Every structure is written in structure tokens, then in C-alpha cells.
């Protein structure tokens, strides 16, 4: 789903300038906020105004939240519907869903893997309907789609390519069928932030696209290898079904084995990085 980042909040000289809500207020340095602090604001912040974004299939809502004098925006998604069946390359046919639950599950798994690339997400009802509230990313330079269109050059190309490689590994692990250049954000410090994971976690136990698995960090390999059905379930709680967790662990096994085989053929330096 592509979101026009012209609606993003911008912090200038300690003032929060919001094209969405037209507000200008003194605000803290959100870059110093911990995940826990962001989660608290997302969960407990009072919704003072909302605006429906004109882009995206699911028509997400941006909510202005306020807690203890601090104001920040969140993207709200309550989508929860059945998609057309998923067809694996081996002929497997499986049910597929578009659900807010997967947004929160992707965030929980990202932190379990210590990637820290997915925007903070919490489960919170909106007008009585279960949904996800996502921290509206601060200090956004633009979407990856804009980078490609305008031919931006990263200040550190190797670091940027490593982030892209990690994104692809993560997407294969959660079997994200809807990654596009509009839901990869680039901050002004050239850090990638991943959003919109509502079409993920199909209970397919195999790798969907091996072509996406080019390189991987040693840290991610170690953290993926350490995953267990229990550790994943403890992290995501009831956001994923037992079958979805089992499929994720099976994909993990195949991804880890794939990278080991690639390293044996091409050399570890060609496949793994720090």
C-alpha cells in the first residue's frame, strides 16, 4: 500500500508541524523515544482528531494522539478480511488474509529478531473495532519509490544495500506478499523503516521467493536460528494462529539452510556481513 508521505509530521526547531492536522506545538525529541514510550502513547493517547488518507487500498486513518501534553500521529488500520487463496510454486493452495493483526505481529517479530526496522505497532480498538495503531515515522526523507524516481544516492551505498537485503530476508520469513516501494520509508539519516504488513504470515512452510535471499547479516542468522515456536508465540500472543507460527518456523529452517548452502558454494564473505 502506498502512502503519500506529504502527510508526515515534521519537527522543526522543537515545534511539531502537521500538514495533516495543521498544528504547531512544542514537542519532545521523538528520536530519543523508546519503543515502550511510543507504545504507551499509541495505547493511551487520547484521539483528538482523525483524517482518512486518500491513498491505499485499505483507506487507513491518521489519528492525532495526545498524552500528557505530547502530540503525535498514528496510522490506524482495522482491515480484517479474506483474500484470494495463496498459491505456492509447489501447487499448495492456502487461505490468505489481509489483517491488522499482522502489522502488530511483524513489529513483535522484528524486535524479537533485534532488527529494529519495523515501525512500532500496538493493538488498539478504533470506534469499537479491533485494529492496529502504528507510530507515524518521524524525520522521513521519503519513500523508497521516491528514491528510485528521483535517483537519490545514499551517502553509504553498502550500508543501504545491507538494509535492503535484511528487508528481503524479513519479508521472506513473514511471507509478506505486499511489499512495495511505497511501504519502505527512508529517514533523513538513511535508515529504512518498514510499514504495512497486513498481507503477511500465510501458513506456507516453504520459501516463497529464493531470489530475494541474496545476503544476510550474521546477527540476523543467529537470531533467526534461535527462534522457537514458544518464543514466537510468547512475543505475538494471539496475533498469529498455531498454524501460522508453525509455518514461520518451517520457513525459518529453510531460509537458514538456504544461506548455509549459498555460503558453502560462494564463500561466507559473499553471503554474510556483520
Per-residue pLDDT tens for 120-134?
999 999 999 999 999
Residue with cell 524479513: 170
Burial of 203 (0-12, 13-18, 19+ CB in 10 A): buried
Q: Is the pLDDT score of 34 beyond 70?
A: yes
- Alpha-carbon gap, residue 71 to 136, rounded angstroms: 11
> CA angle, corner 234, sides to 230 and 235, nearest 5?
120
C-alpha cell at 129: 473495532
Give the contacts of 230 (CB within 8 A, at least 6 positions apart).
none
3 state DSSP class of 209? coil
Integer CA distances (angstroms), 108 to 101, 214, 232, 246, 272, in order: 11, 24, 9, 16, 24
User: Which residues, including other chains, have CB under 8 Å from residue 272's CB and lie 6 or more apart?
Assistant: 215, 216, 217, 218, 221, 259, 263
Instruction: Give the tens place of pLDDT for each residue, 108-158.
Output: 999 999 999 999 999 999 999 999 999 999 999 999 999 999 999 999 999
pLDDT tens digit sequence for 203-236:
999 999 999 999 999 999 999 999 999 999 999 9
Parse the chain into domains and list their residue ranges: 5-273
Give the model's confidence band at 76: pLDDT under 50 very low, under 70 low, under 90 confident, else very high: very high
CA separation, residue 140 to residues 4, 109, 128, 184, 194 (Å): 11, 23, 31, 11, 12
Q: How far is CA 17 from CA 85, 129, 189, in A?
A: 43, 29, 20
Distance (Å, whole) CA 256 – CA 99: 27
Higher per-residue pLDDT: 144 or 58: 144
Residue 2 has a pLDDT of 40
This prediction's pTM = 0.91
Output the pLDDT for position 27: 77
Give the residue carrying C-alpha cell 484470494: 84
Spacing of C-alpha 167 from chain mean position: 9
pLDDT at 3: 41
C-alpha pair distances (Å), 202 with each of 52, 74, 83, 242: 28, 26, 11, 12
Q: How confident is the model at residue 26 (pLDDT cuts 50, 70, 90)?
A: low
Mean pLDDT of the chain: 91
Query: Among 200, 136, 138, which Cα is nearest to 167's?
Result: 200
Nearest partner of 77 among 190, 197, 224, judged by Cα = 197
Which band of pLDDT confidence, cut at 50, 70 and 90, is reported for residue 55? low
Q: What is the mean pLDDT of residues 75-92?
A: 95
Amino acid at each position: 500500500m502506498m502512502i503519500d508521505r506529504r502527510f508526515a509530521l515534521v519537527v522543526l526547531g522543537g515545534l511539531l508541524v502537521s500538514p495533516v492536522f495543521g498544528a504547531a506545538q512544542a514537542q519532545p525529541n521523538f528520536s530519543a523515544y523508546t519503543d515502550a514510550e511510543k507504545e504507551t502513547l499509541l495505547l493511551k493517547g487520547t484521539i483528538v482528531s482523525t483524517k482518512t488518507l486518500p491513498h491505499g487500498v485499505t483507506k487507513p486513518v491518521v489519528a492525532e494522539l495526545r498524552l500528557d501534553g505530547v502530540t503525535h500521529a498514528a496510522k490506524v488500520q482495522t482491515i480484517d478480511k479474506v483474500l484470494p487463496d495463496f498459491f505456492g510454486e509447489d501447487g499448495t493452495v492456502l487461505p490468505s488474509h489481509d489483517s491488522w493483526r499482522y502489522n502488530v505481529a511483524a513489529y513483535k517479530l522484528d524486535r524479537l529478531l533485534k532488527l529494529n526496522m519495523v515501525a512500532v505497532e500496538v493493538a488498539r480498538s478504533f470506534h469499537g473495532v479491533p485494529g492496529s495503531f502504528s507510530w507515524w515515522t518521524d524525520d522521513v526523507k521519503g519513500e523508497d519509490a521516491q528514491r528510485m524516481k528521483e535517483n537519490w544516492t545514499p551517502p553509504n551505498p553498502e550500508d543501504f544495500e545491507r538494509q535492503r537485503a535484511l528487508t528481503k530476508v524479513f519479508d521472506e520469513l513473514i511471507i509478506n506478499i505486499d511489499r512495495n516501494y511505497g511501504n519502505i520509508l527512508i529517514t533523513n539519516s538513511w535508515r529504512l523503516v518498514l510499514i504495512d504488513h497486513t498481507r503477511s504470515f500465510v501458513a506456507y512452510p516453504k520459501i516463497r521467493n529464493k531470489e530475494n535471499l541474496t545476503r544476510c547479516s550474521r546477527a540476523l542468522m543467529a537470531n533467526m536460528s534461535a527462534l522457537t515456536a514458544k518464543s514466537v508465540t510468547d512475543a505475538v500472543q494471539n496475533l498469529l494462529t498455531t498454524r501460522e507460527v508453525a509455518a514461520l518456523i518451517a520457513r525459518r529452517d529453510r531460509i537458514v539452510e538456504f544461506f548455509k548452502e549459498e555460503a558453502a558454494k560462494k564463500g561466507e564473505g559473499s553471503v554474510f556481513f556483520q
